[in-house]
Amino acid sequence: MPQPLTALIPRLREVCGDDGVITEQHRRRTYESDGLTYHASTPGVVVLPTSTEQVAAVVRLCAESGVPYVPRGAGTGLSAGALPHSEGVLIVTSRMRRIIEIDVDNERAVVQPGVANLEVTRAAAPHGYYYAPDPSSQQVCSVGGNIAENSGGAHCLKYGFTVNHVTGLEIVTPQGDVVRLGGKAADAPGYDLLGAFVGSEGTLGIATEITVRLLRAPQKVRTLLAAFETMDAGGSAVSSIISAGVLPAAVEMMDALSIEAAEAAVACDYPPGAGAVLIVELDGPAADVDAQFDRATRMCRDAGAFEVRTADDAGERARIWKGRKSAFAAVGRISPAYIVQDGVVPRTALPEVLSRIAELSAASGIRVANVFHAGDGNLHPLVLFDDSEPGASERAAEVSGKILDLCIEHGGSITGEHGVGVDKACQMPEMFSPDDLETMDLFRSAFDPGGIANPEKLLPTPRLCGERPGVRKGVHPLVAEGAAEQF
Amino acid sequence: MPQPLTALIPRLREVCGDDGVITEQHRRRTYESDGLTYHASTPGVVVLPTSTEQVAAVVRLCAESGVPYVPRGAGTGLSAGALPHSEGVLIVTSRMRRIIEIDVDNERAVVQPGVANLEVTRAAAPHGYYYAPDPSSQQVCSVGGNIAENSGGAHCLKYGFTVNHVTGLEIVTPQGDVVRLGGKAADAPGYDLLGAFVGSEGTLGIATEITVRLLRAPQKVRTLLAAFETMDAGGSAVSSIISAGVLPAAVEMMDALSIEAAEAAVACDYPPGAGAVLIVELDGPAADVDAQFDRATRMCRDAGAFEVRTADDAGERARIWKGRKSAFAAVGRISPAYIVQDGVVPRTALPEVLSRIAELSAASGIRVANVFHAGDGNLHPLVLFDDSEPGASERAAEVSGKILDLCIEHGGSITGEHGVGVDKACQMPEMFSPDDLETMDLFRSAFDPGGIANPEKLLPTPRLCGERPGVRKGVHPLVAEGAAEQF
């Protein structure tokens, strides 16, 4: 263990108590990765604070001694955003799981960062409310982690991402200051640092208290599952629905390979022989949902659906969603290993990009299962490979990378909802110009001049990505120059 | 004219052409204030660039010579955010008014910053779309100015502020770099600087190309006007409507004094004897609008409305809105001078705050007319006074300031949609802690280390506000320290 860290441990114990500091190697290893397990690193020390004051004191100790720290929620992230630093402190929020307030009058919930996403809805439900962002991992993932990654979910087509639902934060900055951004109101004067903080992947500080918008539970929810012979037919149904001005709560699509996987894993009993399955969910006032649901059903049939099933109660809905919700895990049934990719294309480019992915797959012999949020063009290709076969993982990684290139080429993005983390930091220069990245770096340095907050995440660094244009080299010279001119 | 500015003028002419640079004193005076005319200052020089390249070249010249600049759109702002600097360059975007693209497939418009807000809707309307943010000044105010101030409007209860409708920006930073934030997609990796830029009041740079979301024109719009004997009765109708889960596109309220003013100015023919008038507008799918409209009407009657008028076509709607839309200007008919205030309180605190405002008015003898976005607690009290009466303007300013204190006391905010500008910079420390303001200042300095972009706006400075805690003193010492440690 490096010297600065060893010296820190007794002081961390003073702050978090003996049971709030983990130093034994076998216990530290529990935290070696997040959901993206192919990046792993054992943290130098793990702390489990229980309050804002403890978080601030830990961060101040790190800042004083120049020790890096990494924040971690439930560890379900998929971009290695919570990959620990081997010479740093891992700050885990799992003991901060108090729901502080359900403010029904102002339609807000105030929670600690370790609260699980679904717990917010559970606490709001008796009042007729719910919390909208619903990542697949919502039973376990933490609200603090959702803030870090600006998490989405199946319903962000209609309801937006986490950033659209957070109205206030208490944060601990990388200098250990406790700062408030926003509040319960919809807007506040000054810079909207709240929006910039959400999705900043732990590089600007740690959210220690979170105020989110609660939405009224919709009067009615209806879901349909339509089976098509081809992906093109399914895609054309999506186009008709969206361009007719119907705004579903969710529009999800799965291809034959992912249907096969889901069938093998959970026997979801989707229509046999389907080349594509489309799930469309509508919610809102009953009169409107019924009218739009009939239109959406008709448009699916017109686009060639050979079977349409509809669900009107929670049990039937759960049966329709079962295959989709299990799709990622299910792929394990048909492949020893796989990469979950996350990219975005403008919705109008979907058919073209899907056929290019099929070409890539055919040319490389690497199977790709497509599961995606069709309504907003957020793809989750699952790149399948056998890790016991020499060279297979490299070929899979290559196909996975080329899929992102396709997204960028078509005016899309390298991540829709999983974040950049360590995993995609080196691809940021493919999407942003050196000026763009310099501007982001100036911003990061303003919060974290010492570079201790989740270093090497989000922005490319020479150590990770080699020397190339747009790769950050520490605090941007303009900050230094500007400061030097004034002092 | 100070020396650095004189030296700059020939170079500005090289960039913008002779007719793009205004130096004559009488022509410069045209720009001496924005819509908040009691702050005025003649700009050192005015430039009228026509392209991103010209804006970037002008800003680079300013940065090189340390000359401050102020950006200006249509000059309709209400917080003196575009107040010129007497020794600086005023960069006016009025010649950048091209609608670059209406992208119907992706539901986006791309425009230059000088385009008037309503022009976006006009260009989108033939395709069945519109641009949602609708400040009262929408016929003339510029989209660039809307970005700077994060403008709202009567419909932001349902549709949100400008920030919720901007998905991409090309900006010129205070160093003269051209940077892209976001794009046509709903989300992008990296820091959401887009959100922080919107509402930054020109302190982080100038938006030179703007991509906004277009919304489908609603299938149906219905509007009702309900007259009540008292503000309390009107307020209780608002509470019933919102807490029943009806989400109107707009909920506006006017008190007796503002109704009197509107009547005098535009003969809007609102129900005689009303102590409060409530306007509720619903839009969306026809079936839903009809159902909700009947509920809203019933709730107004239950709360004591003695007259309810309804409008189903554009002509009838315009008649209902006429009084409300003219209210600010109309106050000129009943008072020689007035201050338009802009504050926010949680909706649940509205009745209490309104009665405290009435007490303030009674105690001071200063009349206050209340016009407000009742649905989201955004108050626009009009503080009336006679500027020929000695001491009256000071007394009015005092009442106006106390109204903001009331807003802060009740957990609200010092501005809802007009921004901070020069006008409220000194009140920021009443709402934010020194740590909060320091964090904002670090952020500002990251973009603008030289402090040349719209200086003395948004954050308090010693020159404006005197020496007190939370007042910025130039680049924050942490930037300098952090930089010094690393270089």
Residue B119 lies in a domain: yes
What's the 3-state SS for B396-424?
HHHHHHHHHHHHHHCCCECCCCCCCCCCC
Strand partners, A370: A381
In chain B, residues with a C-beta closer than 8 Å to the C-beta of A446 are: 442-443, 445-446, 479
Nearest-CB residue to B190 (from A106, A420, A483): A420
The reply to whether B250 and B320 lie within a common domain is yes
Alpha helices in A68-140 (DSSP H): 117-124
The reply to whether A377 and A414 lie within a common domain is yes
Nearest-CB residue to A185 (from B150, B413, B479): B413
The reply to whether A345 and A417 lie within a common domain is yes
A69's CB contacts (< 8 A; 6+ apart) are: A58, A59, A62, A85, A88, A89, A90, A91, A452, A453, A454
Nearest-CB residue to A440 (from B156, B191, B440): B191
Question: How much is the pLDDT for B63?
Answer: 97
Residue A298 to residue A277: CA distance in whole angstroms = 16
Nearest-CB residue to A483 (from B194, B411, B449): B449
Residues with pLDDT less than 70, chain A: 1-2, 186-187, 468-470, 472-487
Whether A188 and B413 lie within 8 Å, measured CB to CB: yes
Whether A442 and B442 lie within 8 Å, measured CB to CB: no
In chain B, residues with a C-beta closer than 8 Å to the C-beta of A152 are: 187
Residue A140 to residue A119: CA distance in whole angstroms = 9
In chain A, residues with a C-beta closer than 8 Å to the C-beta of B196 are: 191-193, 195-196
Looking at A92, A121, A140, the residue that finishes a domain is A92
Residues with pLDDT less than 70, chain B: 1-2, 186-187, 468-487
Whether A190 and B412 lie within 8 Å, measured CB to CB: no
Q: What is the CATH number of the domain that holds A82?
A: 3.30.43.10
The reply to whether B108 and B83 lie within a common domain is no
Phi, psi of A464 (to 5 degrees): -75, -40
The reply to whether A233 and A325 lie within a common domain is yes
Question: How much is the pLDDT for B14?
Answer: 97
Q: What is the CATH number of the domain that holds A318?
A: 3.30.70.2190
In chain B, residues with a C-beta closer than 8 Å to the C-beta of A449 are: 478-479, 481-483, 485-486
Q: Tell me, what DSSP letter sits at residue A210? A: E
Residue B485 lies in a domain: no
In chain B, residues with a C-beta closer than 8 Å to the C-beta of A435 are: 173, 177-179
For chains A and B, CB pairs below 8 A equal 255
Question: How much is the pLDDT for A455?
Answer: 95
Residue of A nearest to B171 (CA): A436
The reply to whether A51 and A19 lie within a common domain is yes
Please answer whether residues B459 and B431 qualify as being in contact, where contact means their C-beta atoms are separated by less than 8 angstroms.
Answer: no
- Angle between helix A3-16 and helix A52-65 axes, rounded to 10 deg: 160
Closest to B404 (Cα-Cα) out of B385, B391, B423? B423
Q: What is the CATH number of the domain that holds B360?
A: 3.30.70.2740
Question: How much is the pLDDT for B469?
Answer: 65
Rounded to 10 degrees, the C-alpha dihedral B70/B75/B79/B82 comes to 10
Whether B346 and A292 lie within 8 Å, measured CB to CB: no
Residue B404 lies in a domain: yes
Interface test with B, best of A294, A439, A473 (most B CBs within 10 A): A439
Checking ipTM against 0.90, whether it exceeds it is no
The reply to whether A81 and A167 lie within a common domain is no
Residue B486 lies in a domain: no
Question: How much is the pLDDT for A1?
Answer: 56
Q: What is the CATH number of the domain that holds A126?
A: 3.30.465.10
What total number of domains does chain B contain?
5
Closest to B128 (Cα-Cα) out of B7, B27, B217? B217
Chain B closest-CA separation from residue A196 CA (Å) = 4
Nearest-CB residue to A200 (from B150, B163, B191): B191
The reply to whether A139 and A229 lie within a common domain is no
Nearest-CB residue to A196 (from B195, B287, B433): B195
Domain that holds residue A37: 3-92
Express the helix, strand and coil content of chain B in percent, nearest 5 each.
40, 20, 40
Whether B191 and A199 lie within 8 Å, measured CB to CB: yes
- What's the pLDDT tens digit per position in B312-337? 888 999 999 999 988 888 888 889 98
- Angle between helix A477-486 and helix A434-447 axes, rounded to 10 deg: 60
The reply to whether B107 and B203 lie within a common domain is yes
B267's CB contacts (< 8 A; 6+ apart) are: none
List C-alpha distances in Å: B314 to A114, A476, B130, B134, B322. Answer: 50, 55, 16, 16, 12
Whether A163 and B192 lie within 8 Å, measured CB to CB: yes
Antiparallel, parallel or unpaired: β B129-130 and B108-111: unpaired
Chain A closest-CA separation from residue B80 CA (Å) = 14
In chain A, residues with a C-beta closer than 8 Å to the C-beta of B413 are: 183, 185, 187-189
- E runs forming strands in A48-138: 69-72, 89-92, 99-103, 108-111, 129-130
Question: How much is the pLDDT for B484?
Answer: 31
- What's the pLDDT tens digit per position in A349-403? 888 999 999 999 999 999 999 998 988 889 999 999 998 999 998 999 999 999 9
The reply to whether A123 and A205 lie within a common domain is yes
Please answer whether residues A90 and A70 qualify as being in contact, where contact means their C-beta atoms are separated by less than 8 angstroms.
Answer: yes
Cα B330 to chain center, whole Å?
20
Nearest-CB residue to B191 (from A185, A186, A196): A196
The reply to whether B360 and B308 lie within a common domain is no
The reply to whether A224 and A186 lie within a common domain is no
Interface test with B, best of A197, A479, A481, A485 (most B CBs within 10 A): A479
Looking at B91, B123, B139, the residue that finishes a domain is B91
Looking at B423, B446, B469, the residue that finishes a domain is B423
Residue B384 lies in a domain: yes
Residue of A nearest to B196 (CA): A192
